[in-house]
């Protein structure tokens, strides 16, 4: 059974840093696209950063230069390093996978999702 489990969310002050992690099981992690998506109540989901099986990455303009996505294929774990956090980064952050595809498509093409980890940034 495919499982995705996020951790690392917390409440921090603006300018601080957090590192999110996503442990996975039930699929060949290194072969597939995985990524981070965030959502704030009342707003649509926003793709933060995907990373393809070939390690190709792309960042939302709102986080580019501040966030870094990485994957540890040996440990089947996805990470998101978030630096210089802003109040606008407050959201539930979800780990997602597009199983069956090494490349990443559109946001609605992710096939599996974790339950999320909350990030709250205060000013």
| pLDDT tens profile 84-116 | 999 999 999 999 999 988 888 888 899 999 999
Sequence length of the chain is: 123
Residue 102 has a pLDDT of 83
Contacts of 117 (CB under 8 A, 6+ apart): 6, 7, 8, 9, 20, 92, 93
Residue 107 has a pLDDT of 87
Task: Print burial letters for 50-71: b (CB count within 10 Å at least 16), e (below 16).
Answer: bbbbeeeeebeeebeeebbbeb
Q: Please check the confidence at residue 4 and state whether its pLDDT lies above 90.
A: yes
Q: Please check the confidence at residue 7 and state whether its pLDDT lies above 90.
A: yes
| pLDDT tens profile 44-80 | 999 999 999 889 999 999 999 999 999 999 999 999 9
Q: Please check the confidence at residue 120 and state whether its pLDDT lies above 90.
A: yes
């Amino acid at each position: 059974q495919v499982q995705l489990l996020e951790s690392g969310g917390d409440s921090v002050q603006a300018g601080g840093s957090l590192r999110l992690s996503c442990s996975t099981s039930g699929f060949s992690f290194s072969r597939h696209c995985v990524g981070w998506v965030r959502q704030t109540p009342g707003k649509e989901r926003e793709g933060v950063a995907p990373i393809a099986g070939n390690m190709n990455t792309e960042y939302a303009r709102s986080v580019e230069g501040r966030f870094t996505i990485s994957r540890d294929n040996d440990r089947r774990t996805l990470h998101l390093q978030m630096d210089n956090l802003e109040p606008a980064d407050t959201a539930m952050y979800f780990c997602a996978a597009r199983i069956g595809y090494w490349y990443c498509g559109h946001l609605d093409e992710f096939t599996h999702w974790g339950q999320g980890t909350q990030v709250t940034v205060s000013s």
